[in-house]
Amino acid sequence: MTQKHNSLVEIQNMAFSRGSHVIYEDISLSIPTGKVTAIMGPSGIGKTTLLKLIGGQLNPDKGKVLFDGTDVHQCNRNELFALRKRMSMLFQSGALFTDINVFDNVAFALREHSGLPEAIIRRIVLMKLEAVGLRGAAKLMPTELSGGMQRRAALARAIALEPEIILYDEPFAGQDPISMGVLVKLIRELSDALNLTSVVVSHDVDEVLGIADYVYVLADKRIIAHGTPDELRLADNPQLKQFIEGEPDGPVPFHYPAPDYKKELLSGLD
């Protein structure tokens, strides 16, 4: 099931739950180096949780998450921080620091970790902002940016330290068609130009299938399908078809589990 070679991230037989609510029962997957891998699935299935498990922000109940062969959850804090300098995450909200401007947001990690002089940092930041088309917005505060621009500024910040992997958490959520098109193009181009490994968590089927090299689909606490976008489009798994074609009812029911409708309506009428 998993690709064993050239994988930057490997998840092996991982289970995770929040209290009594099981999120993953036993999942295994691998993220190939230098490729765009998409993790798809319905809302609330735990896609963001998966990114937090890869980043070591959450601990699995069992199983392993290996980053370049290192078990993320066996690291002490210093080792974990050393690993995180090699990864980057684009949060769904952008998560820009609202008390500093766009330039300082992008420069933040460089100032913390690179030890470079300010003149070099300035040039790097301007280059990153140019890459996402926001060099002109360097002096604006995050609150002065549109949602799409915030996402792009966050992307510039995410690539500032030139990480080996970027974890994208719902990058297209709430974006207008133009912003979405810009983000799709940026993710693909950055991945190709910098030889980045990208993990895109999303439920925007068309956009994701358009840029991903490999796709995993999560549902029912497990991986229900995986393959290239073309393989998934041709698959006859009804649960997968329902998700890809956006049908409201099917193996994933439209209705939340409830008692009999007629009985409930008529109850209490005595």
Partner 1 sequence: MGLTEQIAKLGRSAIELVTGLGRAGLMLWGAIAHRPRLKKGLPLLIKQLYVIGVQSMVIILVSGLFIGMVLALQGYNILVGFGTEESLGPMVALSLLRELGPVVTALLFAGRAGSALTAELALMKSTEQLSSLEMMAVDPLRQIIAPRFWAGVISLPLLALMFTAIGIYGGHIVGVEWKGIDSGAFWSILQSSVEWRQDIVNCMIKSLLFAVVVTWIALYRGYHVIPNPEGISRATTQTVVQSSLAVLALDFLLTAMMFGS
Least spacing, CB of residue 237 vs partner 1, in Å: 33
Specify the stretch interacting with partner 1 by CB under 8 A; choose among 52-60, 171-179, 198-206, 254-262. Answer: 52-60
Using rule CB under 8 A, residue 113 touches partner 1: yes
> What residue has token string 């997968």?
240
Nearer to partner 1, 48 or 237 (CB): 48
Specify the stretch interacting with partner 1 by CB under 8 A; choose among 51-59, 131-139, 205-213, 261-269. Answer: 51-59
Tell me which of 57, 146, 195, 267 binds partner 1, using CB under 8 A.
57
Residues 116-135 interacting with partner 1 (rule: CB under 8 A): none
Using rule CB under 8 A, residue 55 touches partner 1: yes
Least spacing, CB of residue 172 vs partner 1, in Å: 17
Least spacing, CB of residue 43 vs partner 1, in Å: 17
Least spacing, CB of residue 89 vs partner 1, in Å: 4
Residues 73-102 interacting with partner 1 (rule: CB under 8 A): 77, 81-82, 84-85, 87-89, 91-93, 95-98
Q: Report whether 184 contacts 207 (CB < 8 A).
A: yes
Binding region for partner 1 (CB under 8 A): 52, 55, 57, 77, 81-82, 84-85, 87-89, 91-93, 95-98, 108-109, 112-113
